[in-house]
Structure 1
């Protein structure tokens, strides 16, 4: 899905818009905003033992949804995926300056503002952004290759049984 540099660059550019759109769609579809840290957090103790409704839509609700709501739900799911990928790379780069550049780019700063903050030139910031995109693309391709290899292993294991 995110194999090309252009797709990663456009997702980085649209990050702020996606965050606000996610909040808007969550309010429309669920009536409230779902915090990002609740997207896969395990619970312990009584919280884990007590029954609770899911934050998603049930199968019956999905069937009753009209076409517009289904499209909104699909868009919400896609945007959550994109935002999750971008936020998973926060503070994962080798040096501090690259992490700062990445954070400021996600916050919507211009190259000139970032360069002024770090005391470097605009071309330095552009080069760092290209390095960041290369790192994200290579990491995503490595994850996809590992997943494909695991799937092949599971298929071989399944057929052997």
Structure 2
């Protein structure tokens, strides 16, 4: 889905907008904001064994939703996916300075603000952002290739049985 640097750069630029839109859509669709740590965290022990109500909409509710609500639900799921991708790369870069630059970029800081905070030049920050985007793109492409390879393996297993 995000195979090019421009697509990653655009979701980085829209990160703050997506966060506020997610909160707004959750308030409209659910009546409350769902904490981000509940978006896909596994549970263990008694918490995993006990029955729970779903934080999402049931199949019957989804069928009853009008067109506008369905579009809002699709947009909410897409934006959650984008935000999770970006936040999964927090503190994963090789040096501390790059991690700080990435955090400040996601927070909406300008190149000049970041450069003055770290005591480096604006061109260094721009180059670092391009390196970050290249790292994310290569990691996403490697992950997609690995998933495709796993799918091919499963197809061979099924045909052999």
TM range (shorter): over 0.9
**Count of paired positions:** 161
How far apart are 1:156 and its partner, in Å?
Answer: 0.2
Measured on the aligned residues, the alpha-carbon RMSD in Å equals 0.8
* CA 1:147–1:44: 2 relative to 1, 3 Å: closer
Whole-angstrom CA distance in 1 between matches of 2:119 and 2:20: 31
Partner of 1:80: 80
Q: Please state how far the C-alpha of 1:8 moved relative to its aligned partner.
A: 0.4
Tell me the TM-score normalised to structure 1 length.
0.98
1:53 is displaced (CA, Å) by 1.0
Task: Tell me the equivalent position of 2:35.
Answer: 35
Q: What is residue 125 of structure 1 aligned with on the other side?
A: 125
What TM-score does the superposition give when structure 2 sets the normalisation length? 0.98
1:52: how far off? 1.7
| Structure 1 runs (4+) greater than 4 angstroms displaced | none
Map 1:38-57 to 2 at 5 A. Answer: 38-57=38-57
- Equivalent residue, structure 2, for 1:19: 19
* Structure 2 Cα separation of the partners of residues 132 and 67 of structure 1: 38
- Separation of aligned partners in 1, 2:46 and 2:155: 39
- Structure 2, unmatched stretches of 5+, are none
* Secondary structure at 1:97 match in 2: helix
Matches within 5 A, 1:5-16: 5-16=5-16
